[in-house]
A and B are shown apart, each in its own frame.
Chain A
Amino acid sequence: MAENILVIGGGPAGLHAAIELAELGVNVSLVERDTFFGGNPKKFKYKYLFPDLQPAENVIGELIKGAESNNNIKKYLSANIESFKEDGKKFSAVIKSSTGSETKTFDSVIVATGFEHFDPAKDSKYSYQLFDDVIDIKDLERMMGEGNFTRPSNGKPPKNVAIILCVGSRDRHVGNQYCSRVCCTVSVKQAIELKEHFPETEVYIFYMDIRTYGFYEDLYWKAMEEHDVQIVKGRVAEITSGPDNTVICKGEDTLLRGPFEIPFDMVVLASGMEGGPQSPEMADKLGIELDEHGFLKQANVTLSPFKSNKDGIFLAGACTGPKAIADAIVEGGAAAMDAYIYAKKNS
């Protein structure tokens, strides 16, 4: 008899896990809270993915197609886990969706509930939502996805753009002490895209550290060497309104030792990732642990990163911490293997 495995979350990690398991002949139930699969990349219409700037559709579209065309995957959209309990070594769950409630027994479970973009409105110093021309990386990603690179306030090309790193990350005041890992790379990628679209626009990146780790460094070099993107060392502390419909970034140039207040046509906040409300909700419902950063806790970050603290429940993707789409997909495959082994042993 085939194994039954529950996958919660239909983003890159969950989709990949579901497809891999289905290929092994497992009966997969894929539960997604939204009306569509694809997670945040789909929701916010990411356009190009780093590091190779391939269209996001190539990746996300493929995953969605793979899951949708596979008959071993039972798909639930606009769905959630209404109740969940252990049943010996197995699990019993009530899945509620638009087509009603269904009670099922599973041999193992993969949680891939992802992350939420940090909402910069939570940190008042950046004046997000106060000024039209202060946007964040997900806004810009969506705008670029729609082919729109102009200033939200007047639809004109920006003369200069400030990209501010580490918004909502690495800051005790907002409660997120961790680095969100991808915003540096997304930002240099967006800087390149902006420059490719408007070569005359001056693009500045305000940074404390630039963490384009591994080969992502290539994009950072490219932004500077091929597109003259200028980096300025210092975290911006305030954004206020400026003359002629500009916004002023106030910070310190820590290398030249002195404060600056410079007007920009457009400001892009590199807001980070958060565990979102779904993480504590899942922890609560499934009886697994949350870590101190608000993400789901791995049994052992090095040795068994895809295991939760409860046998038979596995974790994949950004629900355990900020990560790139490529890493989330890798983790989906790895968690699928762990969940399959567990199911095989106990069914």
Chain B
Amino acid sequence: MAKEHNKNSERPVAEKGEHIIARHLIDDDAIKEEKNLVIDGVDVSGRWNTFIETRVDSEFDRSFFDEIQKTVVGSRINRCWQCGMCTASCTVTPLYRRFNPRAFIYMMQLGNLKLLKKYTDVAWRCVGCYKCSQRCPKQVNPAEMMEALALLIKKYFPEEIKSKHQLTIDEEVKVIYEGMILGHGRLDLANLHTSAMRKMGKTTELMSDKDERGAIFKMMKDGRALSVLRLGKPHKWHKSKDAIDNYLRHTGTLEQENN
């Protein structure tokens, strides 16, 4: 029991939910408990007002599904039948088991935001190798679904993302992104990812064996890194490049110094 005392009484006050037997079975979020609460003159502070939210899902929220389906990257969400071939082939999953494209897609299909919220720390880990999309028998394009996921996580849990992962570098990512597109005609998400990590100052993580560097070594070893390089630029890229360049300049999106 915590030593803290309630101002109004001499009873010792417990940590939230401390008195619950088998406390480890219940998520923090699911326990509602007011430290100081008086109802009709009766002191029901602490354990006397403990409330545990139901752990049974009581609805499938389809509005979330609809929202994702309307996006370009998420339009094929209705195709996924949960076979798991994306997760099985994913570059990132062996490093972060909690990053599971199939499971994320399922959570998105059922609009289970409560569950998705628990993965805000890993949900944006996709390195864009597109292996999953190559394997997916339904052509869901799970790689792009992961993009849809990242966007939605950002929209629905901005606080989580800010507080937990300091993802406040929109502008910088934009610069890297444009440089990549205009320079190579392709988006190399692995590159984007590492650049962003560097900008965030997460260099230790970037260089640690089991995290990013592990992934990079793995990709070099099985030839994926090489195959990305071999892709080269799209056909007649200089023409498209000029057109995109013009457009971005016209809309004022492209800054002068990016030339």
**A residues at B contact (CB < 8 Å):** 125, 166, 170-173, 208, 233-238, 250-254, 257-259
The answer to whether B87 touches A252, judged by C-beta atoms less than 8 angstroms apart, is yes
Contact of A238 among B84, B88, B138, B139 (CB under 8 A): B88
Determine which of A166, A172, A259 lies in contact with B88 in the assembled complex, contact meaning CB atoms within 8 Å: A259
In angstroms, how far is the closest chain A Cβ from the Cβ of B152?
A: 20
Q: B84 touching A251 by the CB < 8 A rule?
A: yes
Range class of the B interface residue count: 20 to 34
Say if the beta carbon of B120 comes within 8 Å of chain A: no
- Name which of B83, B102, B135 has the most chain A CB atoms within 10 A of its CB: B83
Complex CA gap A235/B83 in Å reads 6
Residues of B within 8 A of A252 (CB): 84-85, 87-88, 93, 100, 102
Give the 5 A-B residue pairs with the shortest CB-CB distance, closest first.
Answer: A252-B84, A237-B88, A171-B137, A252-B87, A254-B84
| Given A173-B137, A254-B83, A259-B93, A234:B100 Cβ within 8 A | no
Contact of B137 with A251 in the complex, beta carbons under 8 Å: no
- Measured in the bound complex, the distance between the Cα atoms of B80 and A172 in whole Å is 12
Picked from A173, A238, A258, the residue with its CB within 8 Å of the CB of B89 is A238
- Given the contacts A238-B89, A251-B88, A258-B97, A172 and B82 also touching, CB distance less than 8 Å: no
Chain B residues near A257: list those with CB within 8 A: 100, 103
Whose C-beta in chain A lies nearest to the C-beta of B82? A254
B12 in contact (CB, < 8 A): no
Interface positions of B from 62 to 96, Cβ below 8 Å from A: 81-90, 93-94
Q: Taking CB as reference atom, which chain A residue is nearest B222?
A: A240
Q: Note all chain B residues with C-beta closer than 8 A to A250.
A: 88-89
Partner of B100, one of A171, A235, A258: A258
Taken together as a complex, chains A and B put the C-alpha atoms of A250 and B88 apart, in Å, by 6
Closest A residue by C-beta to B137: A171
B85 touches A251 (CB 8 A): yes
Note all chain B residues with C-beta closer than 8 A to A125: 135
Contact with A along B120-154 (1 / 0, CB 8 A): 00000000000000111111000000000000000
Is the beta-carbon distance between A235 and B138 smaller than 8 angstroms? no
Residues of A within 8 A of B85 (CB): 235-237, 251-252
Candidates A170, A172, A238, A254; contact of B102 at CB < 8 Å? A254
| CA gap between A318 and B138 in the complex, in Å | 25
**Chain A residues in 8 Å Cβ range of B139:** 172-173
15 contacts between A and B (CB under 8 A): A166-B137, A170-B137, A233-B84, A237-B84, A237-B86, A237-B88, A238-B88, A238-B89, A252-B93, A252-B100, A254-B82, A254-B83, A254-B102, A258-B97, A259-B94
Interface mask (B172-201 → A, CB under 8 Å = 1, otherwise 0): 000000000000000000000000000000
Chain B residues at the A interface, C-beta cutoff of 8 Å: 81-90, 93-94, 97, 100, 102-103, 134-139
* Minimum distance in angstroms from A121 CB to a CB of chain B: 17
A residues less than 8 Å from B97 (CB atoms): 258-259
Shortest distance between the CB of B208 and any CB in chain A (Å): 21
Chain B contacts for A172, CB-based, 8 A: 137-139
Shortest CB distance A86–B (Å): 41
Partner of B81, one of A173, A208, A237: A208
**Chain B positions within 8 Å of A254 at CB level:** 82-84, 87, 102
Chain B neighbourhood of A171, CB < 8 A = 137
Q: Which residues of A lie under 8 Å from residue B88 when comparing CB positions? A: 234-238, 250-252, 259
Q: Give the distance in Å from the alpha carbon of A172 to the alpha carbon of B137 in the complex.
A: 5
A259 contacts B102, C-beta separation under 8 Å: no
CB < 8 Å neighbour of B90 from A173, A234, A253, A259? A259
Chain A residues whose C-beta falls within 8 Å of the C-beta of B86 in the assembled complex: 237
Residues in B with CB closer than 8 Å to A208 are 81-83
Cβ-defined contact, A234 with B84, below 8 A: yes
A149 to B175, CA, bound (A): 61
Q: Which of B82, B84, B87, B135 gathers the greatest number of chain A CB atoms within 10 Å?
A: B84
For residue A260, which residue of chain B has the nearest CB? B88
B85 to chain A, nearest CB (A): 4
| Complex contacts, A170 vs chain B, CB 8 Å | 137
CB distance from B145 to the nearest CB of A (A): 15
* B93→A234 contact, CB < 8 A: no
> Are A234 and B137 in contact, with the CB atoms below 8 A?
no
Q: Which residues of B contact A251 (CB under 8 A)?
A: 84-85, 88
CA distance A252 to B142 in the complex (A): 15
- Closest Cβ of chain B to A177, distance in Å, is 9
- Collect the chain A residues with CB atoms within 8 Å of residue B100's CB: 252, 257-258
Q: Is the CB of B89 within 8 A of A237?
A: yes
Closest residue of chain A to B135, judged by CB?
A237
A50 to B81, CA, bound (A): 29
Q: Which residue of B lies closest to A261 (CB)?
A: B94
Closest to A234 in B: B84
Q: Which residue of B lies closest to A208 (CB)?
A: B83
- Chain B residues lying within 8 Å of A234, measured Cβ to Cβ, are 83-84, 88
A253 closest partner in B (C-beta): B84
A240: nearest residue on chain B (CB-CB)? B222
A157 to B134, CA, bound (A): 35
> Which residues of A lie under 8 Å from residue B135 when comparing CB positions?
125, 173, 237-238
- In the complex, A258→B136 CA distance in Å? 17
